Amino acid sequence: MAGIEGLSFLGPHNVEVNGIRYDSRRIRPGDMFAAVRGQTHDGADFVLDARDKGAGSFLVEKEIEGLKGSSVVLTGDVRHALAMASRNFFGDPSSRLKVVGITGTNGKTTTAYIVHGILENAGVNAGLVGTVQYLVGGEVIIASRTTPEAPDLAAMMSDMADSGSTACIIEVSSHALTLKRVTGVRMEVAVFTNLTADHLDFHEDMEDYFAAKARLFEESEVAHCLINYDDPFGRRLIEKAKGKTLRFGMEKGEIRPDGKVQWGGWGSRCSLYTPWGKVEVDSPIPGLFNVSNIMAAVGVCGLLGLDADSISESICQVHRVPGRFEKINCGQPYMALVDYAHTPDALENLLKNVQEIAQGKVILIFGCGGDRDKAKRPRMGEIAEKLADVIFVTSDNPRTEDPEKIIDDIFHGLTSDNPVVCRISDRREAIRLGVSEAESGDVLIVAGKGHENYQIIGERTLPFSDLDELAEAIRRSGESEL
């Protein structure tokens, strides 16, 4: 507990700690149990369970009956103390890596994957912690949340350093910043991609959401801040950031395109001004909005020491970001895409880009998640009606909400009884019907779940992949035409 302020100790002090746990179900003999308060449960209610399972010490915010004689650490902020204790326990692993923290509403995963791909192609051994998966010492771990709790993150970074990684890219969510999961992590580069409406079921309003994101740049130990100057919240953040600031943008910034950006369904090409010289971008990742993510990735790699030529040579080899503008090709005469767009801004950017490359209709299949921000649902319906030609409104992850009521909320954003708008709560059936509508030159999009391989209905998590379902529906459609 060295270096953590405001602690009081009860019981024996000289106690060996074998591990740090915040989940009493995972306790092993000799572990320290941290009584973290969550959204639905308070860890203080499980302290005695942890004691009975062999916990040897306890990190708590209040004295608890039944722990007399045990080693107890009292703190006014258990999450802060947990994060710092985790850093101590694992030997300050972020000091052994060049850590990149990427935050923002949209683009975190794409930027993280591009950075990781460039580094790996340039011969840099890098770990990755993000929405899709964790890459730790050559092992692929399916992600349980975008940013893990502090002890899990510290353990991963320690394993990365031990296995020879010299860099680590972390997607940092606003939840993680609010709940202090990255407190104590030393970062070489912190990236801000953008800020648009999302997670307003967790944050009070956009100002509260922005304040959470800003913590990465105001409170963390960060050497360099890389900020999107095109975003109005990014321009505000420049005034708050403590580290050395570098801007990227389509027109202004130390990193910006030199002339016009060429792009299409095949990808994008441009030259970028950078502090390290001209970077030539020939990326197979499509979408004009992804040029911003590419600029952020180029900036990160430059700050990590790669030269312009190495970045140029490596970026063209990054072909795929799971569930982000991901094309499904089963020989059909139209373009089929799966994208994670689940916010109004992301959906609007996606559809505007698709309009530019579609030769026929834009067919959209989407829904909104249950038990989450309800205010965005009608806005997404409004955007879909404005920018898509045929729309299937369906279920996303309804969780404990009635799927039909979620669809009702989306329909509140529609202004007319459009005959090409269909509501069908069965997502698999909606995908099948969308495929049946698609013709040569059309673009068919399944949006909202992206890389996810599950669907949460009620309390159950069921296997479901938009990528697999769309490919299967296209194959079956082709067979039925034979």
Question: Residue 85's domain is classified under what CATH number?
Answer: 3.40.1390.10
Tally of structural domains, the chain: 3
Question: Is residue 1 in some structural domain?
Answer: no
3-state secondary structure (DSSP) of residue 305: coil
Question: Is residue 159 in some structural domain?
Answer: yes
Residue after which a domain boundary falls, among 281, 315, 349: 315
Residue ranges making up the domain that contains 171: 93-315
Token duo for residue 212? 């959470």
Query: Using CA atoms, how far apart are residues 380 and 187, in angstroms rounded to an integer?
Result: 35
Residue after which a domain boundary falls, among 315, 343, 366: 315
Q: What is the pLDDT of residue 386?
A: 95
Q: What is the pLDDT of residue 418?
A: 74
Domain check: are 43 and 80 in the same one?
yes
Question: Is residue 147 in some structural domain?
Answer: yes
Query: Using CA atoms, how far apart are residues 233 and 229, in angstroms rounded to an integer?
Result: 9
Query: Using CA atoms, how far apart are residues 232 and 235, in angstroms rounded to an integer?
Result: 5
Q: How many other C-beta atoms lie within 10 A of the C-beta of residue 142?
A: 9
Evaluate whether 297 touches 182 at the Cβ level (below 8 Å). no
Domain check: are 308 and 370 in the same one?
no
Domain check: are 278 and 338 in the same one?
no
Q: Where are the beta strands (DSSP E) in 323-374?
A: 326-328, 335-339, 362-366
Domain check: are 365 and 393 in the same one?
yes
Question: Is residue 33 in some structural domain?
Answer: yes
Domain check: are 71 and 209 in the same one?
no
Query: Using CA atoms, how far apart are residues 148 and 376, in angstroms rounded to an integer?
Result: 26
Question: Is residue 248 in some structural domain?
Answer: yes
Q: What is the pLDDT of residue 481?
A: 58
Q: What is the pLDDT of residue 79?
A: 97
Query: Using CA atoms, how far apart are residues 306 and 299, in angstroms rounded to an integer?
Result: 10
161-179 CB burial, b ≥16 within 10 A, e <16 = beeebebbbbbbbbbbbbb
Residue after which a domain boundary falls, among 252, 287, 315: 315
Query: Using CA atoms, how far apart are residues 70 and 56, in angstroms rounded to an integer?
Result: 7
The CATH code of the domain that includes 441 is: 3.90.190.20
Question: Is residue 2 in some structural domain?
Answer: no
Domain check: are 282 and 155 in the same one?
yes
CA-nearest of 399, 432, 425, 426 to 410 is 425
Query: Using CA atoms, how far apart are residues 409 and 367, in angstroms rounded to an integer?
Result: 10
Question: Is residue 266 in some structural domain?
Answer: yes
CA-nearest of 369, 373, 358 to 396 is 369
Domain check: are 363 and 468 in the same one?
yes
pTM of the full structure: 0.92
Domain check: are 125 and 140 in the same one?
yes
Dihedral pair phi/psi, residue 104, rounded to 5°: 145, 165
Token duo for residue 370? 């249950």
Question: Is residue 428 in some structural domain?
Answer: yes
Domain check: are 227 and 134 in the same one?
yes
Per-residue model confidence as pLDDT tens for the chain (482 residues): 999 999 999 999 889 999 999 999 999 999 999 999 887 789 999 999 999 999 999 999 999 998 988 999 999 999 999 999 999 999 999 999 999 999 999 999 999 999 999 999 999 999 999 999 999 998 999 888 899 999 999 999 999 999 999 999 999 999 999 999 999 999 999 999 999 877 667 767 889 999 999 999 998 899 999 999 999 999 999 998 988 999 999 999 999 999 999 998 889 999 999 999 999 999 999 999 999 999 999 999 999 999 999 999 999 999 889 999 999 999 999 999 999 999 999 999 999 999 999 999 999 999 999 999 899 999 999 999 999 999 999 999 999 999 999 999 999 999 877 778 999 999 999 999 999 999 999 999 999 999 999 999 999 999 999 999 999 999 999 876 54
Number of H helices, E strands in the chain: 14, 25
Domain check: are 403 and 451 in the same one?
yes
Domain check: are 119 and 251 in the same one?
yes
Domain check: are 165 and 248 in the same one?
yes
Q: What is the pLDDT of residue 417?
A: 72
Q: What is the pLDDT of residue 199?
A: 66
